């Protein structure tokens, strides 16, 4: 009987979710491993993740095209959030490197497993790679005419998202970045409890949907939305402008990118790195560090 009980316990242990203390250890180990990848691998994985955000954002626009702000606005937010979650499923489950998720590396840094130089190197490479991937994929999507889907409603949705971002003040960008990456990194944090791919997807999706529905901000999404609006205005045919109701006065200026992106990026670091990464390190790993010193 005792042997049977042990077997049942073993099976339960394998199938049960990983508990928070072990999640913290997983996150710390993963952060160290990710940061120490060679330059070209890290850059390539970051470019891929930037492309995934472009796909997710465009998919969200396709799902919400035409729903507007009326009676179906809530449904549009839900559908858009589910569409945007594609980006995070592809990046996190697929192993690509997303800057806003990598701020959780702070756990490894504050625990002494990762030097400041290696942390900043990883962040810089991933930030650059995400920018390349998001901008290049946005250009290809517009070149392929995907902004004309649903009678131009997809392109109009992307233009509206870009205009909303462009109008943020520095303070708004900072706060929306803090709140946005707190939610997104909580989703990433939950994936460390998973034992299967299905677990990871189910854990990650609700925070991403909430992020989208609340209109919060994410640095890599900014890297996509502002340039893609410019590409639409540059490449769109007259038929597109005749099909939509929105009018513009030229592409988003470089000044908008230089103003909004740093504010959102800093907010993302504070939200995901401090409010998620540091706080979970403080709760679950910091006590062990003091025990080791003794």
Mean pLDDT in order along the chain per 10 residues (294 residues) = 44 68 94 95 98 98 79 80 97 96 96 95 98 98 95 92 93 98 97 94 97 96 95 89 73 76 98 97 81 50
Token reading at 83: 């569409």
Cα–Cα distance for residue pair 205/268, rounded to 1 Å? 18
Could you state, in order of their start, the residue ranges of all structural domains in the chain?
A: 37-293
- Asked whether 84 and 212 are in contact (CB, 8 A), the reply is yes
Q: Looking at domain 37-293, which CATH architecture does it have? A: Up-down Bundle (1.20)
Structure tokens at 139: 């250009």
Q: Which residues of 22-59 are buried (b: 16+ CB within 10 A; e: fewer)?
A: ebbbbbbebbbebbebeeeebbbbbbbbbbbbbbbbbb
pLDDT of residue 253: 59
Please give the pLDDT value at position 256: 84
Residue 199, classified by CB atoms within 10 Å of its CB into exposed (0-12), middle (13-18) or buried (19+), is: middle
Give the residue carrying structure tokens 């472009």.
54
Per-residue confidence (pLDDT) for residue 66, from 0 to 100 = 72
What pLDDT shows up at residue 210? 97
């Amino acid at each position: 009987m005792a042997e049977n009980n042990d077997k049942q316990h073993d099976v339960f242990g394998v199938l049960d979710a990983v508990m928070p203390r072990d999640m913290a250890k997983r996150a710390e180990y993963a952060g160290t491993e990710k940061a120490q990848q060679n330059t070209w691998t890290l850059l390539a994985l970051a470019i891929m993740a930037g492309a995934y955000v472009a796909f997710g954002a465009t998919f969200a626009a396709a799902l919400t095209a035409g729903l507007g702000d009326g009676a179906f606005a809530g449904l549009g937010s839900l559908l858009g959030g589910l569409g945007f979650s594609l980006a995070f499923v592809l990046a996190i489950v697929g192993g690509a490197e997303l800057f806003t998720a990598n701020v959780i590396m702070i756990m490894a840094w504050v625990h002494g497993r990762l030097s400041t130089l290696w942390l900043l190197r990883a962040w810089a490479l991933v930030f650059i790679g995400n920018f390349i991937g998001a901008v290049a994929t946005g250009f290809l999507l517009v070149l392929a005419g995907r902004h004309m889907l649903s009678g131009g409603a997809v392109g109009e949705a992307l233009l509206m998202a870009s205009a909303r971002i462009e109008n943020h003040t520095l303070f708004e960008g900072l706060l929306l970045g803090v709140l946005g990456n707190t939610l997104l990194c909580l989703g990433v944090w939950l994936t460390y409890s998973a034992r299967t791919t299905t677990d990871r997807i189910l854990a990650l999706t609700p925070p991403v949907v909430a992020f989208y529905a609340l209109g919060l901000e994410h640095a890599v999404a900014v890297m996509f939305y502002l340039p893609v609006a410019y590409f639409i205005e540059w490449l769109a045919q007259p038929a597109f402008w005749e099909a939509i109701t929105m009018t513009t006065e030229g592409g988003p200026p470089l000044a908008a990118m230089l103003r909004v992106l740093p504010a959102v990026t800093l907010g993302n670091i504070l939200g995901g790195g401090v409010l998620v990464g540091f706080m979970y390190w403080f709760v679950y790993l910091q006590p062990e560090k003091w025990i080791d010193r003794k």
